[in-house]
Amino acid sequence: MCGIVGYVGRAKAAPILLDGLRRLEYRGYDSAGLAVVNGRHELQTRKCAGRIAALAKLMVKKPVSGSFGVSHTRWATHGKVTNENAHPHFDASGKLALVHNGVIENYQTLREELISGGDTNFRSETDTEVLAHLIGKLYDESCATTVDTPQKKAHMLEAVRAALQRVIGTYGIALIHSDVPEFMIGARRGSPLVLGVGKGENFLASDVSAIVAYTRDAVYLNDFDVVAVDREKFEISSLAGETGDHQVSKVEFTAEDIKKGDYAHYMLKEIFEQPGTVRDAMRGRLSPEECTARLGGLNMTPPQLRDVGRIILTGCGTALHAGRVGEYLIEALANIPTEVEYASEFRHRNTPLTRETLVFTISQSGETADTLGALRESRRKGFRTLGICNNVASTIARESDGGVYMHAGPEIGVAATKSFTSQVVILTLIGLLFGRMRTLSTAEGSRIIESLEALPEQIETVLKLSDQIKEIAKKYADVTGMLFFGRQFNFPIALEGALKMKEITYLFAEGHPSAELKHGIIALIRPDLPSVFIAPDDGVFSKNLNNIEQVKARKGPVIALTSGNGASQLKTLANEIVTLPEAPDCVMPVLSVIPLQLLAYHLAVELRRDVDKPRNLAKSVTVE
């Protein structure tokens, strides 16, 4: 969601801050700004509603100088999208600048207290400004007679701790003060913040991708950490002032990994990376000799795995749809009752959980607020809770009891693509592991492994259909919406296809089980509303065929994804046929989702949408 970049060092701060913000554009935002302190201890601020390009133009007209500062891209929560509501925000003196991700739930109470104490100099509608005023007030009260810089730093740190102890809500913050040179403070609770460690310079960022061009040494802060940073050193402590050890990690990817290369959009690049990312999701995890999967990261012994009697899969958006595929996979392969829960609902309802329940939380970023909340609720109740995520240093990875990393590399496009197929592959491995410990024979396990090993090459075959799908997109560029249908393993793919269409084309789209067509949905069928059917040549193909005939009888256009002999049987029914490689039911979802990713992409391009930065969306949703 919102992005934070902070810098203290010897270089000019503004270009580094701007570059970092550009690297965070994919997170979604509606305004941008920065604050830099110059050599005369003056706080210089530039901010505006709109894109980072607008901020860059403003800075050409009104440049700033200085070697330490903070910057931000805002996704509006409290207050409209205006220049005044853009970050950074300031205290009453105008000397303290603060950027903030998250939500201060008790900001109104704090604001009223500050006003009653005589502080009426509020310039925005945001909750963030209230926090800036509170920290500034506490600092000014404690620092009234202090002139020594080390003492000022200590007072500033204590003011931040004292203010945050009064806060209800979530935050990732970075702040500077013009009277405290070359010094920056960061803190987090529920919203990610990472410290970048350099030589003679240090950084703060909400996402390591913002600073990976400058350093690959990072410390991922925990909830309730407060970090004090200057050029040469940093110190991390708790809100209570206690210090402890924090590991400096190596960032796994480089700045080159987050470039588009020759692709027009990140989304297209990431769609075409899927042969490699699927291969990486399986790398070292298949055992052809034992006909099973090896997932040591689950941190569970064979007896503990055998004792699992129920599985809960929880996530949001695309991760939830991957979980829905996982439900079919695990029940089919392992015969373990499996349920999928919206992470946003899981922790707010009293879901009955039996003692043998195992919970998986699924999140590409490992920072999704609702999914993190579900993880914490599950662990609070004493259930073993595992993570499936892409970021080995994320909060979910660190707080879970174990899990499986996706190894998909950075995903910049807001519309998730390669992370979805990696998640589905990992859930297939989980189903295989549990299945082989129960009823799955060696022959069946071997066949599943063979089909998984064939996937990367089959994905490459599917990607060659991109030009055909592009022509289909052009043909249907004038429609007002689409319906998506699938059965069994491919019903969640219908949901995911509809979500991709909504996310980047802004068209009406719905996904349904094919058999639900006649239970009300058929009323929507008309000549200007295409239906996309995922109908591989499998055990329910004839059922899908019947539903397609019902749509055609009502003059509804049909785009069909099929395999094997399906194309010949659909020749006189479907308006468009996309033929996929033949594959078993358990791996077909990975193949069938890719044409839907491409269909949404090409249609969005045809409609001239901003594919990588779709309106109102954020890549990582770190607030509720």
Spatial strand order of the sheet with 531-534 comes to 508-513, 481-486, 531-534, 558-563, 576-580
Catalytic residue among 137, 152, 418, 619: 619
* Two tokens, residue 72: 């931000």
Catalytic residue among 2, 316, 389, 586: 2
Question: DSSP labels for 105-122?
Answer: TTHHHHHHHHHHTT----
Kindly report the number of other CB atoms within 10 A of residue 479's CB atom: 16
Provide CB contacts within 8 A for 136, sequence distance 6+.
90, 91, 92, 93, 95, 96, 159
* Six token digits for residue 433: 């592991």
Report the 10 Å Cβ neighbour count for 520.
Answer: 9
Residue tagged 């066949």 (tokens): 447
- Cβ contact 320:364 at 8 Å: no
| Known catalytic residue at 2 | yes
Read out DSSP for 367-378? --HHHHHHHHHH
End-to-end CA distance of the chain: 11
User: Active site includes 619?
Assistant: yes
Q: Are 410 and 258 in contact (CB under 8 A)?
A: yes
What phi, psi does 485 have (nearest 5°)?
-135, 145
Does residue 602 contact residue 470 with C-beta atoms inside 8 Å?
Answer: yes
Closest C-alpha to 599, from 478, 471, 512: 471
Residue type, 232: E
Separation of alpha carbons 385 and 622, rounded Å: 20
Residues 6 or more apart whose CB falls under 8 angstroms from that of 140 comprise 91, 93
Q: What DSSP designation does 520 have?
A: T
Residues tagged active-site = 2, 619
